[in-house]
Amino acid sequence: MCGIIGYIGHREAYGILIKGLKRLEYRGYDSAGIALSNNDYRVYKCKGKVSDLEEQTKDKDIKGRIGIGHTRWATHGEPTDNNAHPHKSMNGKFVIIHNGIIENYNKLKNSLENEGYQFESETDTEVLANLIEFYYLNNRKNGKSFSPEDAVRAALNMVVGAYGLVILCEDYPDQMIAARKGSPLVIGIGKSEYFIASDATPIVEFTDSVIYLNDDDIAVLDDNGLSLRNLKNIAQTPDIHKIKLEVSEIEKNGFDHYMLKEIYEQPRAIRDTYRGRLNFNSKFLRLGGLHNVFQQLTEANRIIIIACGTSWHSGIVGEYLFEEFTRISTEVEYASEFRYRNPVINKGDIVIAISQSGETADTLAAIQLAKKAGAIVIGICNVVGSSIARETVAGVFTHAGPEIGVASTKAFTTQITVLTMMAMSIGLANKKLAKDEFTVLIDELYAIPEKIEKILTKSEKIKKIAIEISNATNSLYLGRGYLFPVALEGALKLKEISYIHAEGYPAAEMKHGPIALIDEKMPVIVLATEDKSYEKIVSNIQEVKARKGVIIAIVTEGDTTIKQMADYVIEVPKTDFALAPLLTVIPLQLLSYYIAVERGCNVDQPRNLAKSVTVE
């Protein structure tokens, strides 16, 4: 949600900023802007994409070895040129870019207006720019020494909310300041140069040494190097990490869209997720990241899973897995509901937070609440070094690699892979999962990537079905048991990228409402692989057919019964019931993708959405 990039060093900043913004555009894409410093500073910004900004700056002065750039997902104020970042303070002393929300911005704005400040935009960010300037100018009256860093600190001590900020000051053209609370910022350390960004994607091609800023950190970058102090002005020791991210991982590599590339990456991503954790020959499974809490996990009375969006859907699969294999009572909560409804959390409860980005604001806040109440909080994250990964006491990384397409795909299947391994290892340890069942599951899990590869070979067939139903305005996704969350996920994928209204439902609930919607124009996607409720799902299909709904059924290879009833059938290889989500979701991802392409939608950057939701 909003992408931030900054550069200070010996190269021309413009190219680095534009390229960086393109890499970060998946975080927000309604407007973009840059500021370049070359003893003065120039700001260019506009509504629209980074390519529009590039067009706008074609004949402009783009010189400068210091610069900041921003790509926005609007929170306060519509996406307009004026509301785009960077924002200048009224007297032009400061220019800033911001990711997050200043909650008390109205109050601060009123006080600044009383001091004579006027505002050009509707943003909370401009308030912050002016607040910093106000402290700066006021405290420097009569020749007093008060640095831009002092002014930033004074202003941020007045702020309630979340921010990742990068700031330039006109009087200090060789300096850049960054500050963080709640919204992520990474500093890349090169040879006599620094990069700042919301995540490591724009930095990797220059350096693999990074510092993840902590909440309340204020970093000052200039010719003297990097100084790190906190809001209380106490020096902090920078903790330098090495990142393992290849540039090729963040490029499309010949695919038309990131989403398609990421769908096709799933066999690799799942293998990477279980590699080194599962030994298929010795049937051994160990999740090293859970070592320090494993005993508590096996003795837990209750597990609470918190997440948002697609991660919440994999959480429901997790609930089914945990209850089946470990017999530990498990609940799944939307992080946003959990944190605001005074939940019962007992000391020793296990809370598992699932998040691809590791930055989702609601999930992060729910973790903090759970920790305060004495729960043991474990993370399942994709992004190493992310806030959630750092906030949790233990966890398992998904190793999906960077997920750039806004519609999540490989994050879902790798999260389920981790949840399966967790449930299996706890179940074996607390003796609720028999050794022979455990062994069968290991073999089945091992075979999943190959089975996904087989499903991916059917993409042309899925594309044809997609084209046939691409004019629909409504659709229904039905599934039972482990396939109910897959129905939710399939529906979410379709609405996110094609803007067709889609609902996911437990198949048996259809008759309590959604059945009223069914007519000959309504595609009903039924997850109908062979399991213990197969007969029931066949009845549900007949109920839809009787109302002339168009049936697209996902079935087990070799199924003959449903073939005779459904309008379209997509086969997936047989697997254990518990692992069926990993296979059945693949055709649904492809179906949404091809429908969206057919409708001319922007698959990787669907309207109004953002990849990483760092505001509440």
- Alpha carbon 140 to its chain centroid, in Å, reads 42
Q: Which residue from 57, 613, 615, 616 is in contact with ligand G6P, where contact means CB under 6 A?
A: 613
Site string for ligand G6P, 81-100 (x = CB under 6 A): --------------------
How many helices (H) and strands (E) in the chain? 18, 26
Residue nearest to ligand G6P (CB): 309
Where does residue 265 rank: exposed (0-12), middle (13-18), buried (19+ CB within 10 A)?
buried
Question: Among the candidate windows 49-57, 260-268, 356-364, 508-516, which touches ligand G6P by CB under 6 A?
Answer: 356-364
Question: Among the candidate windows 180-188, 477-485, 532-540, 607-615, which touches ligand G6P by CB under 6 A?
Answer: 607-615
Q: Which residue from 406, 424, 491, 572 is in contact with ligand G6P, where contact means CB under 6 A?
A: 406
Q: Helix, strand, coil: what percent of the chain each, to 5? A: 40, 25, 35
Of residues 130 and 357, the one with the C-beta less far from ligand G6P: 357
Active site residue 283: no
Amino acid at 481: G
Q: Which residue from 310, 330, 459, 533 is in contact with ligand G6P, where contact means CB under 6 A?
A: 310
For the chain, the distance separating the N- and C-terminal CA atoms, rounded to the nearest angstrom, is 11
CB contact at 8 A, 180 and 217: yes
Active site residue 2: yes
C-alpha torsion angle, residues 370, 374, 375, 376 (rounded to 10): 120
Which among 49, 410, 451, 611 is annotated as catalytic?
611
CB 366 to ligand G6P: min, Å: 11
CB contact at 8 A, 379 and 390: no
d(CA 504, CA 494): 10
CB 270 to ligand G6P: min, Å: 17
Of residues 177 and 406, the one with the C-beta less far from ligand G6P: 406
Of residues 311 and 589, the one with the C-beta less far from ligand G6P: 311
CB 310 to ligand G6P: min, Å: 3
Of residues 310 and 533, the one with the C-beta less far from ligand G6P: 310
CB 386 to ligand G6P: min, Å: 9
Q: Which residue from 99, 207, 311, 425 is in contact with ligand G6P, where contact means CB under 6 A?
A: 311
Own/partner contacts of 43-46, CB < 8 Å, gap of 24 or more, are 43/86, 43/88, 43/95, 45/70, 45/81, 45/84, 45/85, 45/86, 46/81, 46/84
Site string for ligand G6P, 290-309 (x = CB under 6 A): ------------------xx
Of residues 67 and 358, the one with the C-beta less far from ligand G6P: 358
CB 419 to ligand G6P: min, Å: 13
Q: Which residue from 71, 360, 414, 529 is in contact with ligand G6P, where contact means CB under 6 A?
A: 360
Of residues 391 and 559, the one with the C-beta less far from ligand G6P: 391
Q: Is 549 helix (H, G, I), strand (E, B) or coil?
A: coil
Question: Regarding beta strands 350-355 and 278-279, do their DSSP bridges make them parallel or antiparallel, or are they unpaired?
Answer: unpaired
Of residues 99 and 311, the one with the C-beta less far from ligand G6P: 311
Q: What is the DSSP letter of 293?
A: G
Of residues 86 and 395, the one with the C-beta less far from ligand G6P: 395
d(CA 181, CA 367): 16
d(CA 539, CA 536): 5
Q: Which residue from 357, 413, 417, 592 is in contact with ligand G6P, where contact means CB under 6 A?
A: 357
198 CB-side CA count, 13 A: 34
d(CA 486, CA 119): 47
Q: Could you give phi then psi for residue 57, rounded to 5 degrees? A: -95, 5
Amino acid at 11: R
Q: Which residue has the tokens 């330039």?
A: 168
Of residues 7 and 26, the one with the C-beta less far from ligand G6P: 26
Report cis status (omega within 30 of 0) of the bond before 587.
no
Q: Where are the alpha helices (DSSP H) in 334-431?
A: 335-340, 361-372, 387-391, 410-429
- Alpha carbon 150 to its chain centroid, in Å, reads 33
CB 23 to ligand G6P: min, Å: 17
Question: Among the candidate windows 155-163, 250-258, 295-303, 605-613, which touches ligand G6P by CB under 6 A?
Answer: 605-613
Of residues 135 and 212, the one with the C-beta less far from ligand G6P: 212
CB 344 to ligand G6P: min, Å: 23
Q: Which residue from 413, 476, 611, 615 is in contact with ligand G6P, where contact means CB under 6 A?
A: 611
The yes or no reply on residue 183 touching ligand G6P (CB under 6 A) is: no
Which among 2, 46, 169, 601 is annotated as catalytic?
2
Q: Which residue from 31, 83, 99, 356 is in contact with ligand G6P, where contact means CB under 6 A?
A: 356
Site string for ligand G6P, 362-401 (x = CB under 6 A): -x--------------------------------------
Q: How far is CA 470 from CA 219, 366, 435, in A?
A: 50, 38, 47
Query: Which residues bind to ligand G6P, rule: CB under 6 A?
Result: 308-311, 355-357, 360, 363, 406, 408, 609, 611-613
- As annotated, the active-site residues are 2, 611
